[in-house]
Amino acid sequence: MKRVGFTLKVRADKLDEYKKHHQQVWPEMLDALRETGWHNYSLFLRNDGVLFGYFETPHSLEQAQSLMAEKEINTKWQEFMAPFFDANARPDEMFLELEEVFHLA
């Protein structure tokens, strides 16, 4: 299993709404994540909008993203989430992958 860490930046004026939507992620989206190998997926948000994400997968980040991109529900979720970020791209295309430098097993 590969451990993947990444960052994104949520708009400061959208933090509360972003957190609210992640308290009830669409069931179809959760199913798609599980089906495509996203396990132990967590998001952590600083009060300045810096978002750290972590998940485990049998795939590379690129492969995991590609599998999700095939899911219609992912397209709908990414379009729904796009206004929470400043960039002109889908949020799942903006992940800045972090290098793992230590892991205590």
**Could you list the active site residues?**
22
CA 82 to chain centre: 12
d(Cα 29, Cα 12) in Å, to the nearest integer? Answer: 25
Structure tokens at 93: 């295309």
What is the phi/psi pair of residue 75, to 5°? -60, -45
What is the phi/psi pair of residue 92, to 5°? -75, -5
Residue with tokens 């972003």: 18
Task: Name the DSSP class of 10.
Answer: B
